Structure 1
């Protein structure tokens, strides 16, 4: 089957992915190697990701760091008896990183585990939310939200990271983390792209970058 892939990360505000037989988000996650190409999965749902500014993540829509500066509201179809893990990762948009999403390309902005139902505030925070902060002149950067259903309530050994720290956020592997805790494949996802704006120096100062 011929795959038609449009990822205009450098020139447009929307990432569009089409592949007959797969949902947009499923194909997108396969393309960045969050899902293996051979994965036989049901269509991965889109997460509802809404910011206080009124902005929302929507299949690669371009948002500004100013719009996403505060932690978003996340909503999905859930069951109260289940526990979930939510993560937000950033990937460089170099061709190599988009093609492979290696550990060296990944930086996690937010990680919450043991979420009961879809109440994110009920979960255990491993990493507090950190806004997008792409450096000036580096173009569009990719930000991906991933939701996993846990097999049960779990004990996580990762150390807490507050919103003022970069330590422990870089060289993060989605695959290694999900395998370590037997999370399986993501249930839902969404993503946006962002580039430098005047709020970025505030983000950098916050984390001492």
Structure 2
């Protein structure tokens, strides 16, 4: 007969592996931002405390860097945010921004086209993942689907969630709603408005036609080499190697699948060992 201690231990397992999965997800998105050049060209650094999930109707949840068409990214996406661990508290209001960082290698000092900017955003839901609600927010720029120029390469559209402290103050030119799409400098806006920490972020790519130049190369993200994956691997057979280049939707899907396979294998090993110990 299984003891009460065993039942309690088994009930704890989803929490343990949920935290492991979040840790791996944080490390993976950090690697994607670095390998795709978003860090340090657009953002000087990226240390998220939560995972941002973006989904479009008819597409589903996106993988980092997933390639989509203009039609697919036409409607306003749904956003959800999941704290990295139980110590992260997501309270107050937030700002959502979507900026076109251009193809890899773009000179970000020239500014970015702003496709979405909403202040006073709130989180809804009783537990994670929380829905990011822009319904009652102040939409400085209503969502405008990406539309890169023909032949201009795969543009990286970065979606970011910032905390919005009481010291937040919209800078000149951004203090009225519905100002439309235009070029701005993301770094300047964050600094001048006194936005808080960057809570979470992800990105997608959209390309029209074939690039008329040779795009800069990007390094793959090999999920199984990340520290969180290494810490859950107990044997060579339980490791999984997968890679993802920034513009590739197929490879991004492989990365997600590899992470799930790794965690499932590690979970089986952990559970088997735990049961063996507790049933002695």
**TM interval, short-chain normalised:** 0.5 to 0.7
Normalized per residue, which structure has more helix?
Answer: 2
Corresponding position of 2:127 = none
What is the number of equivalent residue pairs in this alignment? 163
Structure 1 residue 94 displacement after superposition? 5.2
RMSD of the TM alignment (CA)? 2.5
2:119 to 110, 113, 123: 113
Residues 169-206 of structure 1, C-alpha deviations (whole Å, 9 max, x = no match):
11x11211111122233110010111127xxxxxxxxx
Matched residue of 2:187: which SS?
Answer: helix
TM superposition score normalised by structure 2? 0.52
Structure 1: which 5+ runs fail to align? 1-21, 198-209
**Distance (Å, rounded) in 1 between the aligned partners of 2:178 and 2:41:** 26
Q: Is the 1:49–1:56 contact (alpha carbons within 8 Å) kept by the matching residues of 2? A: yes
Q: Describe the shift of the 1:76–1:188 C-alpha distance in structure 2 as closer, same or farther (beyond 3 A).
A: same
Q: Deviations over 1:123-174 (max 9, x none)?
A: 1110011111011122211100010011138452513336xx54xx11x112
CA distance in 1, matches of 2:115, 2:177: 13
Question: Hey, what's the Cα distance between the residues in 2 that align with 1:185 and 1:67?
Answer: 30
Rounded to whole Å, the distance in 1 between the matches of 2:90 and 2:118 is 16
Residues 33, 101 of structure 1: 8 Å contact kept? yes
Cα distance 1:126–1:111, how it changes in 2: closer, same or farther (>3 A)?
same
Task: Give, in angstroms, the shift of residue 47 of structure 1.
Answer: 1.0
- Give the direction of change, closer, same or farther, for the CA distance of 1:183–1:85 in structure 2 (3 Å limit): same
What per-residue deviation string (whole Å, max 9, x for no partner) do you get for residues 97-128 of structure 1? 2xx522x2411100000112232212111001
1:91 aligns with 2:71: no
TM-score (norm 1): 0.68
